[in-house]
Structure 1
Amino acid sequence: MSLETPETVTAKIFPHPLNAWYAIAWDHEVTSKEPMSRTVAGKPVVLYRTADGRPVALADACWHRLAPLSMGKLVGGDEIQCPYHGLRYNSAGRCTQMPAQRTVNPSAMVPSFPVEERYRYVWIWPGDMTLADPDLIPDMSQMTDPEWAGDGETIHAACNYQLILDNLMDLTHEEFVHGASLGQAELSESGFHTKLEEDGSVTVTRWMRDVEPPPFWRKNMRDKFPDFEGLVDRWQIIHYYAPSTICIDVGVAKAGTGADQGDRSQGVNGYVMNTITPETDRSSHYFWAFMRNYRLESQTITTQLRNGVHGVFGEDEVMLQAQQANIDANPDHEFYSLNIDSGGMWVRRILDRMLEAEKAGLEPGRPTADELVGSGSTER
């Protein structure tokens, strides 16, 4: 399927699949001391850990009068107590105790969601729990690989999750939104290659050769090579995994030293790890981290990089919020897609196919390239 002809997409609120894994919290946020609340795909959820450290996710509404369980307390090492009338629920969501009566109504339950702990996040499956397959959690292995170091934060973004995916799949916006840190003219001047992989993931690759390093990358080169001067070869390799995880292989190396052939020893390499969780139709939890494979021992560099990326993503947040406001004000407007939007258009097709499969009651999973395009081209 060729993407050379611009396509249009109505500027609307984009729905999200439910039969999928979403990060709901950093692992350190979920504790056995007190419950926390977070909304995922429109569903308020209470999170806590049992005494043995296992994460639990229940609907954040008591069976009795819908009081938020997250306002209650943890008792007995495994249970949560409603703050209104004291009903207790175990980690499976079943009520174990009611006030002023010995018999517990057998229908007294709150929904329990499948959860998994992986890559420094707690993941939740908000759809049909019988279909939850941990193998569908997207690969974010740099988050826990000892060969990489870094840290990140969470942004509460006042926009639909698809707008964040669009933003990350096309990085030419760095030239204009992040001109003081990451941007340079070569971003919009250089070519790129978009490919729908056989497993249904999407890769967008861009190389900029013999360019001046922007301030962010000049600093990082000097962190590793204090005497660095001169031009660099710069790369951005975007990897999308359905439904909403994007890991971006980024870096620069001394020009002409073979980085584009696989030898990155004369450069600095990072991974921008992003996983976006829809909160509502117009708000998202945006979990991100910047991981690097050099100077692993330096907490100073870890903190500087986290703070630097925080500032960059703050600029994105302003733009995305303004974009969402204009979408709400112009619900019938059509987005006109350019060549630079090819990665984002594949993402939209993949999500559409996942939503169609969910509506039809089919097994969840990432649609393959063959399912999406048949014998058509998957490259551009």
Structure 2
Amino acid sequence: MTAANTVPGGQGTVTAKVLGHPLNAWYVAAWDHEVTRKPMSRRIANRPLALFRTEDGQAVALADACWHRLAPLSMGKTVGRDGIQCPYHGIVYNSAGRCVSMPAQETVNPSATVPSFPVVERDRFLWVWLGDPTQADPDLIPDMSQMSSPEWAGDGETIHAACNYQLILDNLMDLTHEEFVHSSSIGQEELSESEFETTRDGNTVTVTRWMFNIDAPPFWLKNMRDKFPGFEGKVDRWQIIHFEAPGTIRIDVGVAKAGTGAFEGDRSQGVNGYVMNTITPETDRTSHYFWAFMRNYRLESQLITTQLRNGVHGVFGEDEAMLKAQQEAIDANPDHEFYSLNIDAGGMWVRRILERMLAAEGRPQQAPAAAAAPAAHSRTAVPAGRA
């Protein structure tokens, strides 16, 4: 385990600023309610998939291209117990991707198959594995248990983000940007003034920040008053960011009445939420961003659930605009290097983990450039200290 606020690598170390995406990993393909008997299409890590359910409700992910003429299977229909029929010439495949019927032929060509990918339904999501299926261990699925726990309530949405998935991970691993991007809702100057700790263990990274005896920003003041009507006074605030490779970030967030023991573990005088984020690369420059806000108070209130979802929707809309602009600037300045600060320590450890995963697969670490140009890099190293 590593505990440090310095950017990993040391003076002069460089890292590709826009990474490729590992394939031997679990990615969310869809919310569970999105996938039905009617096939749908979703591109994951540059691979078009056809998603559907069998008659008994089992989720299936096949390559979205018929063996015969590459017609998208997602434009077809489900047939029988577990089949999907190509919309072009009627070839039928079972849930394992093997052809079971061909038009005007009694003999099925044994080569008539399409790739089938492991799928696991867990915590309101459908997770898919695009790499070596023999390595698809369900125990490697990131922890999103707050999504399905009876002790938490909440809801979320999907953002189609016009940027590389790594830029979203960078955004979530460093929340000091809230002071500037979200100044009217969750931002405050204490974010960049407070100390933080970064720890790394295997394929996980955690960034912990506490702010003591401060004014609650508007978002958190409203939530305190939802639980404690008429609340006034100072609060202690926390942000504990948990990353699990390749793209899941759960953020333990909240505020409590100042000095009531939240730091020591007693959060009874406060409100606690989890910002659940899992980011799936679509292409090298677009991403599926699945998020939810879960809370452990006033579980019965659908009003609060809706208000929180809508409030976070507005906050993330500001991030979405910034990330799109950032990707456009990266593409317009292919020779520019990224420079890292102390606040980037968590994000840089994430990059190290992803680089290691890509190297283990023998794949390029950097996504293709938007234009012919030297590879862009990230230079690191600043002394440890306050954020």
TM range (shorter): over 0.9
**1:331 Cα deviation after fit:** 1.4
Partner residue in 1 for 2:204? 201
Residue 319 of structure 1 pairs with residue 316 of structure 2: no
Q: Equivalent residue for 2:35?
A: 30
- Residue type of the partner of 2:291? W
5+ unaligned residues in a row in structure 1: which ranges? 361-378
Secondary structure in 2 matching 1:265: coil
Q: State the 4+ residue runs in structure 1 displaced beyond 2 angstroms.
A: 1-13
What corresponds to 1:225 in structure 2?
228
2-structure distance, mates of 1:302, 1:218: 16
> Deviation per CA, 1:34-76, whole angstroms, max 9, x where unpaired?
0010000100000000011100000000000000000011111
> Is 1:6–1:339's contact at 8 Å kept on the other side of the alignment?
no
**1:6 shift after superposition:** 6.3
Alignment of 1:273-352 (within 5 A): 273-352=276-355
Say which SS state the counterpart of residue 260 (structure 1) adopts: coil
CA contact (8 A) 1:46 1:60 kept: yes
Q: Is the 8 A contact 1:12 1:332 kept in 2?
A: no
Change (3 A) 1:7 1:249: farther
Aligned partner (choices 140, 163, 167) of residue 163 of structure 1 = 167
**1:154-176 deviation digits (Å, cap 9, x = unpaired):** 00001000000000000000000
Conserved 8 A contact 1:206-1:237: yes
- The C-alpha deviation readout for 1:122-169, integer Å capped at 9, x for no partner, is 000011112111111001111111100000000000100000000000
2:22 is the alignment partner of 1:13: no
Q: Report the equivalent of 1:184.
A: 188
Offset, 1:249: 0.1
> CA contact under 8 A between 1:8 and 1:334: conserved in structure 2?
no
- How many residues in Structure 1 have an aligned counterpart in Structure 2? 360
1:52 to 56, 64, 70: 56
Offset, 1:201 = 1.0
State the match for 1:106 in structure 2: 110
Q: Is the 8 A contact 1:247 1:271 kept in 2?
A: yes
- AA aligned opposite 1:274: N
Distance (whole Å) between structure 2 residues aligned to residue 178 and residue 9 of structure 1: 30
Other-structure match for 1:373? none
Matched letter for residue 177 of structure 1: V
Task: Write the letter of the residue equivalent to 2:312.
Answer: V
Q: CA RMSD in A?
A: 1.5
Q: Does the aligned pair in 1 maintain the 2:54–2:81 contact within 8 Å?
A: yes
Structure 2 residues not aligned, in runs of 5+: 364-384
1:269 maps to a residue whose letter is: N
Superposition pairs of residues 120-269 of structure 1, within 5 angstroms: 120-197=124-201, 199-269=202-272
Quick check: 2:240–2:252 contact (8 Å CA) kept in 1? Answer: yes
1:7 CA drift (Å): 6.1
The change in CA–CA distance for 1:350 and 1:118 in structure 2 (over 3 A counts) is: same
Correspondence for 1:376: none
Question: What percentage of aligned pairs have identical amino acids?
Answer: 77
Q: Which residue of 2 aligns with 1:92?
A: 96
Q: Which amino acid aligns with 1:185?
A: E
SS at match of 1:48: strand
TM-score normalised by L of structure 2 = 0.91
